[in-house]
Structure 1
């Protein structure tokens, strides 16, 4: 049995990841968090840029740290980030949240569904962790976000607006909706309001069942305004940060995890069936059986497109395997859980500090992030540990 099935090891792994960033990530000059860390050395390479996704992921991480590890510094760090989110990312005039803040000034105010989903997740996790020194406006914010982004005729969310909420982007995307589903599950778990669970199930069925009828059960990333598949969108930019072309094995298996989690709250018979199918499709098309790891993407014929391997993919696979083992009792998922952890601890983890690299090459050589605005302060591996604690340990 691997050490990664042990609750003490999983908790210590969460703490090591948090401590890679903490306390240097706490911006005492401007508020909020500093996310731009050299993943090899731990040095900070830029201090002023605040991405909405990074802010919310830090809040989520510290909420989990407070709840799972019972560390006082996690609570104070979480409150520090919540203050910045609601004072500086939040737009009091127009409503919603700025995408990028420089210091304390917004420099990109487009309204992005993907980012707003992480706002809801962060607020829900903070409420779940009883970090409530003031009233967290979870329900009010969730209802506002859903009112703005939700398209009732499709049971899915728009992707983006301008800063005044007057011009919706034509593009529709699966990624934003997947994370909105994740967020709505968290809001439901924090409030027990069935409306949020119903909305999460509606998104899940639309994307993993209805829209996969034309793609042999696989989930495509990009869509036209009325939710027809757009197979040419970003064809020339398969490495795009948020909207890469091609099928993503990581998203097939991330959906497998979300469907397994939904099955805790719903008796819908399609949830586990589709979760198991998506888990298998991700392995069949994306797992490198020789060297381990998931290719980043594959084309419509099933051939790898981007062969670099991102850590979020194997982290989501760990969570999916854990949840599916809990929900089915099938030992194959426990075997895959061990396989994924073996790969992650060997190739994705910085052995000196315990943080995870964003990505490695096809042959598993680390590619540390040393420039650009960062959005992933350990959210995915901490999530993997959290799901493992809930499902296995």
Structure 2
């Protein structure tokens, strides 16, 4: 029996991720979170850098801890992070969120839709948790996304702007995917149709219309007119945020988001597309020799970067849990992904997940864990699986 078929088992995974980051990530000197924890033993290897995405993800995580009746300290931790997000990261003069800080001093004020989407997500989860100031952050983040990034002629968000809001020509899949996620969370937190309508538009436009140019697969990089830029970063296969190729993890992540959207919208294409994208993730991405999902691949499944990333597998776990509610066959993938992940990708001592291993599941140091991932992927997908697999009451013993 897969213990992660039970809410109790999943609740322990959820709690383990929270415990790994708390209290080590709480910084009362600078403020906010020191999210750079070594994934092997949890020591803080960079106490000064503050990344917008890491701050927002931390607020999201601890807010979910409150929502899920987790440890009592989750409320304090969420309040602590939200206060830093709403003050230190917010540039009141230019009305946008700063990307990177050294302590409280901005070092990179580039405006990324990706980062602003995570602020909306953080605000939505904090609002669900009843954190003071959360509603203000939801409204502010959504206003920036709509006023600065939304392009109604395309039905999608632009990707990047200068500190003074001059848009770059690059357009990207990832920012729109996480905007869709944040909009769904905002709808859950407020029950306001404006968020659901925008999430539906983004999902429909990207997963059905834009992907028609690449035979239904999700390309990552586009021109200003939303045409696939197939040569983008082809000389930088290990680029941190914009690698070339198709990402099985993002196919699984979109499948998850469509499954969530299908809980609120009845159009048949939503679940049909969710199944197609999950199937593409495992058909293209599964490594038959060593197991696990590749990071990036060609359209025929030939690996570009064959490394195994923890976030990829947690997203596939969340997607398979949600899809198994509609088709039992996906429960088999849920079990298979957990078995592989427990053997290789989850830290057996602390319960956090490793960022990246080689194809053969070796560690090629230095590999401390990404500075923008304070447990957001494993925590989110454990929580979604808890909601999907209702076989016993959740427990945080």
Query: TM-score, normalising length from structure 1?
Result: 0.96
d(CA) in 1 for partners of 2:230 and 2:310? 26
Residue aligning to 2:190: 191
Structure 2 unmatched ranges of 5 or more: 391-397
Counterpart contact for 2:124–2:135, Cα < 8 Å: no
Residues 246 and 207 (structure 1 numbering): CA distance in 2 closer, same or farther, change over 3 Å?
Answer: same
Does residue 338 in structure 1 map to residue 335 in structure 2? yes
Does residue 385 in structure 1 map to residue 382 in structure 2? yes
d(CA) in 2 for partners of 1:264 and 1:17? 27
d(CA) in 1 for partners of 2:208 and 2:105? 42
Residue aligning to 1:270: 269
d(CA) in 2 for partners of 1:209 and 1:163? 32
Does residue 126 in structure 1 map to residue 126 in structure 2? yes
Counterpart contact for 2:57–2:376, Cα < 8 Å: yes
Residues 284 and 366 (structure 1 numbering): CA distance in 2 closer, same or farther, change over 3 Å?
Answer: same
SS of the residue 1:340 aligns to? helix
SS of the residue 1:106 aligns to? strand
Does residue 53 in structure 1 map to residue 53 in structure 2? yes
Counterpart contact for 1:99–1:112, Cα < 8 Å: yes
Residues 311 and 134 (structure 1 numbering): CA distance in 2 closer, same or farther, change over 3 Å?
Answer: closer
Residue aligning to 1:69: 69
Aligned-pair distance for 1:368? 6.5
SS of the residue 1:164 aligns to? coil
Counterpart contact for 2:316–2:337, Cα < 8 Å: yes
Residues 367 and 75 (structure 1 numbering): CA distance in 2 closer, same or farther, change over 3 Å?
Answer: farther
Does residue 362 in structure 1 map to residue 341 in structure 2? no
Q: Which residues in structure 2 correspond to 1:1-393 (within 5 Å)?
A: 1-132=1-132, 136-165=136-165, 167-326=166-325, 328=326, 330-367=327-364, 370=367, 374-393=371-390
Counterpart contact for 1:39–1:368, Cα < 8 Å: no
Counterpart contact for 1:38–1:369, Cα < 8 Å: no
d(CA) in 2 for partners of 1:48 and 1:373? 15
Residues 369 and 55 (structure 1 numbering): CA distance in 2 closer, same or farther, change over 3 Å?
Answer: farther
Aligned-pair distance for 1:343? 1.2
Question: 357-366 or 137-146, which moves further after superposition?
Answer: 137-146
d(CA) in 1 for partners of 2:199 and 2:366? 33
Counterpart contact for 1:357–1:366, Cα < 8 Å: no
d(CA) in 1 for partners of 2:363 and 2:10? 23
SS of the residue 2:30 aligns to? coil
Question: 142-151 or 270-279, which moves further after superposition?
Answer: 142-151
Aligned-pair distance for 1:369? 6.0
Residues 294 and 208 (structure 1 numbering): CA distance in 2 closer, same or farther, change over 3 Å?
Answer: same
Counterpart contact for 1:37–1:370, Cα < 8 Å: no
Aligned-pair distance for 1:305? 0.5
SS of the residue 2:88 aligns to? helix
Deviation digits for residues 266-319 of structure 1 (CA, Å, limit 9, x no counterpart): 011100111001111111100113322110011134311100011111100011
Deviation digits for residues 96-116 of structure 1 (CA, Å, limit 9, x no counterpart): 100001101111001100000
Q: How many residues get paired?
A: 390
Counterpart contact for 1:127–1:190, Cα < 8 Å: yes
Aligned-pair distance for 1:239? 1.0
Counterpart contact for 2:50–2:100, Cα < 8 Å: yes
Aligned-pair distance for 1:364? 1.5
Structure 1 unmatched ranges of 5 or more: none
Residues 246 and 134 (structure 1 numbering): CA distance in 2 closer, same or farther, change over 3 Å?
Answer: closer
SS of the residue 1:69 aligns to? coil
Query: TM-score, normalising length from structure 2?
Result: 0.95
Aligned-pair distance for 1:139? 2.5
d(CA) in 2 for partners of 1:60 and 1:289? 35
